[in-house]
A and B are shown apart, each in its own frame.
Chain A
Amino acid sequence: MKKSLHWPIGLLYIGLILYAVITFIPFTWALSASFKSLAEISSGGSNFVPQTFTFDNYKQIFLQEPLFGRWLFNSAIVALIVTLFNLLFNSMAGYALARVQFPGNRFLFFLILAVLVVPAQITLLPKFLILKSLGWLNSYQGLVVPTVVNATFIFMMRQFFLNFPKELEEAAALDGLNRFETFFQVVLPLAKPALAAQTIFIFMGSWNEFLLPLVVMSDPTMFTLPIGLNAFKGQYITYWNYIMAASMVFTLPALAIYAFFNRYFIQGVTFTGGKS
């Protein structure tokens, strides 16, 4: 790190600011389009501040596309349920792999590692066939159940619990608590930092998922927002003001979550990436 002292700091700043601008321009350009009128959009100007500022696009998307609210609801409910189950199940599995002695423990751990390297798309078509034979196409459980556990985060939770102080559990055992009581009353409450990182990743992953809902949901009332957005784009392809407003409605909640919890994102990436 000392080496940096010899670098011209000004040059570094110019580079960083330039890259920050490159990062922000697409978002601000989309945000600005969402407040412009169709006439202004079509004229092809490159002004970031709308000539006439309007909220009409946001009003119109809910009127033009009555299912828009429904898609938002579908996305939210699926992401919430998936997140809750993942927190519970990944932690349970990670804890068992790290701390509980049972025959097959190491074998299961190696299976989890093997799962990490299976490309997700390979399982897509058979997953579709299985969901079809279960009668789960066009249902919430079709999106939720296959994604309620996540090998990456089981691995991460195992690493976390390996470093967890043993004394706390021993004290709990002396108090006569069994494994389940120990886990839910002592261990889980102390795992908050790992759970926070996981919450954000799982929620965002589910909220942004495109391929699985595209395959599972064919009934427009069951679309999640990414699929709905794509269908909406197909209908209103020249109405970029509407498309950008719809995109912003979908993005702003995620950005708000990110703004508040970005610390945990970075931690989560470090957890999953840095450890391996």
Chain B
Amino acid sequence: MLKSKFFNRRNVREALSGYLFMTPTIVVLGVFLALPVLYAIVLAFHKVNLLGDVSYRFTGLKNFVRMQDDERVWIALQNTVQYVAIVVPIQTLLALGLALTLNTKIRGRSWFRVAFFLPTVTSSAVLTLIFMWIYNSNGLLNSVLSFFSLPTYNWLGDPEVALKGIMIMNVWATAPLFMVIYLAALQDIPESLYEAAAIDGATTWEKFWHITLPFLRPVTFFVIVMGLIGTFQLFDQSYIFSNGSGGPNNATLTIVLLIYQYAFKNLDMGYALALTLMLAFVIMTATLVQRQFFGEESLD
């Protein structure tokens, strides 16, 4: 019975076509995703020689021990954590605020939505160049600031404010993406809930607090996790801003930029991979902490 069922020609053909449909995916994700992850874990315990033929020498935990005394690792970690801690809450709140505003039955809302979304589709390279032009010491931002008699800054050259410049830019560029996600979630809230609450005499604020916010919990988890993953991996903007150096005075040095420098400037691939694993660990921990905070979340 079992045998005849297994060799049933239709089922075999069906299974074969299934594997054929999946072949490109399995091959590409296998070679360029699964293999790299394994490779990263293994090579992080090796010294890798990149010149000429690539060769490896096992060094145990040396790459990880080295991090402790590497001052630039701590600077990069500090910059990155500071960047994440400031950008993620602001962009999430801004996205929520914009979405709540656009979710009202206001005229021209679809026009506003299309307009707000614009920075999200523009390349990070172009946005960074545009903002560098705005941040120029005699640029637009300083003109505006001095017009209102506010203090002006050397945004590109002053270590105190360089990272803040990138923060402003990224909040501006990323919030609209999350706004659209929030907007979609808001439209999924059944109108009947609000109507029932209105009959019970709930105020606008009570409806927001007891219906809207709980409903937005899962999507907020998603938005924060995406925000965390994105901000922890900040690279393009820092690289272009500082010409790859992380300057001024390491102010825009992020973990990924440091990894890039070790891998491609110092050709120290093993150490760079150890740093990569450290970053992965940090991101996953942050995601798990979020999960604790927002409760279990299912993907299906």
Contact = CB atoms under 8 A, between A and B. Distances in A.
Interface string B229-267: 100110110011001000000000000100110011000
Given A121-B259, A123-B40, A244-B133, A179 B123 contact: no
Q: Is the interface of B mostly helix, strand, loop or mixed?
A: helix
A243 B140 CA distance: 16
A150 to B, nearest CB: 10
A149 B24 contact: yes
B299 interface: yes
Contacts, number: 281
B193 to A, nearest CB: 11
Contacts of A63: none
Interface residues of B, number: 103
Interface string B61-81: 000000000000000000000
Interface in A100-141: 100-103, 105, 108, 111-113, 115, 117-130, 132-133
19 contacts: A2-B195, A2-B198, A23-B172, A24-B118, A26-B127, A26-B130, A27-B122, A93-B22, A111-B29, A121-B233, A122-B277, A125-B263, A125-B272, A125-B273, A126-B273, A149-B24, A180-B17, A225-B125, A254-B122
Given A4-B105, A12-B101, A145-B32, A254 B123 contact: yes
Interface in A1-36: 1-4, 6-7, 9, 12-13, 15-16, 19-20, 22-27, 29-30, 33
B88 interface: no
Contact of A270 (B31, B181, B259): B181
A243 B129 contact: yes
Contacts of B13: 178-179
Nearest to A270: B184
A146 B143 contact: no
Contacts of A2: 194-195, 198
Nearest to B24: A89
A229 interface: yes
Contacts of B127: 26
B126 to A, nearest CB: 5
Nearest to B126: A247
Given A20-B112, A44-B143, A149-B28, A123 B17 contact: no
A177 to B, nearest CB: 12
Contact of B236 (A15, A30, A210, A233): A210
Contacts of B101: 12, 15-16
Contacts of A49: none
B185 A233 contact: no
B161 interface: no
Contact of B37 (A123, A129, A266): A123
Interface residues of A, number: 100
B21 A100 contact: yes
A19 B102 CA distance: 12
A55 B241 CA distance: 27
Given A1-B194, A23-B116, A100 B18 contact: yes
Given A15-B101, A119-B233, A130-B36, 15 more contacts: A2-B194, A12-B106, A26-B134, A29-B140, A33-B133, A85-B24, A89-B25, A122-B279, A129-B269, A132-B54, A149-B29, A154-B25, A225-B125, A229-B125, A274-B184
A273 B21 CA distance: 25
B204 A3 contact: yes
Given A89-B25, A145-B32, A274-B219, A121 B116 contact: no
Contact of B54 (A19, A26, A108, A129): A129
Contacts of B185: 274
Contact of A269 (B36, B129, B132, B181): B181
A9 B106 contact: yes
A208 B123 contact: yes
B154 interface: no
A26 B131 contact: yes
Contacts of B15: 100-103
A258 B118 contact: yes
Interface in B128-176: 129-134, 136, 138-140, 143-144, 172, 176
A64 interface: no
A172 interface: no
Q: 8 shortest A-B CB distances, which residue pairs?
A: A102-B18, A4-B104, A126-B36, A44-B138, A208-B123, A96-B21, A273-B181, A126-B39
Contacts of B260: 211, 215
B35 interface: yes
B121 interface: yes
Contact of A126 (B43, B115, B129, B219): B43
Interface in B75-122: 98, 101-106, 112-119, 121-122
B276 A122 contact: yes
